Chain A
Amino acid sequence: MATAAAHQTAGTPAYGAQDGTAGPAGDTGTDAYQRAFDAAVAADERIEPRDWMPDAYRATLVRQIAQHAHSEIIGMQPEANWITRAPSLRRKAILMAKVQDEAGHGLYLYSAAETLGTSREELLDKLHSGRQKYSSIFNYPTLTWADVGAIGWLVDGAAITNQVPLCRCSYGPYARAMVRVCKEESFHQRQGYELLLALSRGTPEQHAMAQDAVNRWWWPSLMMFGPPDDESAHSAQSMAWKIKRHSNDELRRRFVDICVPQAESLGLTLPDPDLKWNEERGHHDFGPIDWTEFREVLKGNGPCNEQRISQRRQAHDEGAWVREAAAAHAAKHTGAGRSGGTGATRS
């Protein structure tokens, strides 16, 4: 926090400000705060909740963090689909722990969003009414047990590629949440890889199941990086604010380069005849992505859009009486009618 002036909210002394409560020297009004904010971002400092920030920066962060939180809780569904059918007790324990981690990530991320002046309730309401989105990848179904492995290897792998740079995001609470999320995601990615490896080296039926899952999840995973750079609506501003550090296409290339040798080690192929190493570019070339499919799924026409959001709404609606009871109980016994539901848990 070297540029103390940047961490100054009008009328509210920022913690960590080195010059106490003084405003930016010689400046008054929003322009001074804007300049101080710009300087802090340029100096790679973290913006903290009580610091002044442009409204558009705040709105962008709320949108992005909420979308990320929603993706965690919607993302529980396709994997929870296999908890009750997991084929060994070891795999069942790993899968339950993973789905639990996703609920935990949802909790940190909603909390990070709340530091920007919103509430979990408000964000869930926007998710349920379709005003905020979640990652489109979860609108694909998990048809076989191997899909659990493919999600871990490819979907979590793509998520990590996207999220590791977010650990250096300019907004402090989001960056810190991402450090923990990324550590857990890398476990999930390795567990998914290991699940697929066991299938690939198993019976012919298991191998075929693994290959089929990779065939179905490969392209949607590449779409997770978002539209090509020249069509990405929010990228330029987010890069300038250092919320985003790398372009969509750059991250996608990085992901493909990581996956190709891993697929070879797995003994599985990737469903792209154009995929080959380009010596000159130092990257793999890959075939065209079907952006029509991407846009259709985004619009709500994917295989599971309706199912995912209905299940989420149903769980929320059916749980209303439980949350109301917790709030009523808290109001009776502490005098505070905080909405509750904090069950005893060690996580």
Chain B
Amino acid sequence: MTTTALPTAAALALGDDALVLSHRLGEWAGHAPVLEEEVALANIALDLLGQARVLLSTVGDEDELAYLREERAFRNLQLVEQPNGDFAHTIARQLYFSTYQHLLYARLAGGDGPFAGLAAKAVKEVAYHRDHAEQWTLRLGDGTELSHERMRRACDALWRFTGEMFRPVEGLDVDSEALERDWLESIGEVLRRATLSVPEGPRSGAWTAGAGREGLHTEPFGRMLAEMQHLHRSHPGASW
């Protein structure tokens, strides 16, 4: 593998993950449960947007890619496009995704492939994201009866979107099976400490869960893109 041009499919997959999750987190602005979380969620959203811009720019024009592609051309995981739900859903989504992203970027940073440089920078940011999600999983899981129940429901609801993370992506030189083992171990450990059990449902199999990398998304994603893209598309060719 060369160290020059990033493989397009992989850069789009990782870039779209970051772009879409950043957007979802941006929807929290002004709605967070406590002022510290306004700052924290925006921080994570900004880190992800920064990663997205670097990755998309290696493939083409960042704004054309973000604003002018149709839904079917996006390569992000279905997990990251899921609506925010309550705070527990947002935290479960963060826990699942940032654990994956942290394990993935740590591997990429340690290798000599085309993503090594970018991953070395991003892995430091993602370590904070993962820590943030873990701390909140512990607080909510092992907080009150209500928060335990909400966190349990959120972890269950999003579980079926987690298998997709370990499908091989063209151009990403990682051992997906080892990545999945590490992810399951890490998530299992956090959930246990949070007094939650590991969800039992399937993590993949149904066509609805696991095809984001091929451009098959869930219904809420189309509405998210409609909102995100409408202003840009309303003024074709304009600069902002």
A, B co-complexed: yes
Residues of A within 8 A of B (CB): 73, 76-77, 80, 83-93, 96-97, 99-100, 103-104, 106-107, 110, 120, 145, 198-199, 202-203, 205-206, 311, 314-316, 318-326, 328-330, 332-333, 340-347
Closest 5 CB pairs of A and B: A319-B33, A325-B143, A325-B147, A341-B34, A100-B42
For window 32-67 of B, CB contacts with A under 8 Å fall at 32-40, 42-43, 45-46, 49-50, 52-53, 56, 62-63, 66-67
Interface of chain A, main secondary structure: helix
The one of B19, B30, B45 in contact with A76, judged by C-beta atoms closer than 8 angstroms, is B30
The complex places the Cα of A209 from the Cα of B23 at a distance, in Å, of: 25
Q: B154 within 8 Å of A by Cβ?
A: no
Contacts of A99 in B (CB 8 A): 29-30, 42
Please state if A329 and B142 are interface contacts (CB–CB under 8 Å): yes
Name the distance in Å between B27's Cβ and chain A's nearest Cβ: 6
What's the Cα separation between A195 and B139 when bound, in Å?
41
Do the beta carbons of B139 and A340 come within 8 Å of each other? yes
With a cutoff of 8 Å between Cβ atoms, the chain A residues found around residue B46 in the complex are 93, 96-97, 100
B43 and A346 form a contact (CB under 8 A) = yes
Cβ A83 vs Cβ B87 within 8 A: no
- Determine if B135 and A344 form an interchain contact, defined as CB atoms under 8 angstroms apart: yes
Is the Cβ of A88 less than 8 Å from the Cβ of B232? yes
Instruction: Select one of B19, B66, B143 contacting A326, CB under 8 A.
Output: B143
Binding site for A on B (CB under 8 A): 19, 23, 26-27, 29-40, 42-43, 45-46, 49-50, 52-53, 56, 62-63, 66-67, 86-87, 128, 131-132, 135-136, 138-140, 142-144, 146-147, 150, 227-228, 230-232, 235, 237-240
Q: Is the CB of A85 within 8 A of B37?
A: no
Asked if A345 and B40 sit within 8 Å, CB to CB, the answer is yes
B228's closest neighbor in chain A, by CB? A84
How far in angstroms is the closest Cβ of chain A from B141?
9
A321 CA / B235 CA spacing, docked (Å)? 43
Asked whether B34 lies within 8 Å of A319 as measured between CB atoms, the reply is yes
Contact status of A345 and B138, CB under 8 A, knowing A89-B63, A202-B238, A324-B144: no
Residues of A within 8 A of B237 (CB): 203
- In angstroms, Cα B234 to Cα A205, docked, is 10
Check B30–A93 contact: CB distance below 8 A: no
Contacts of A347 in B (CB 8 A): 39-40, 43
In the assembled complex, the CB of A25 is this many whole angstroms from the nearest CB of chain B, namely 45
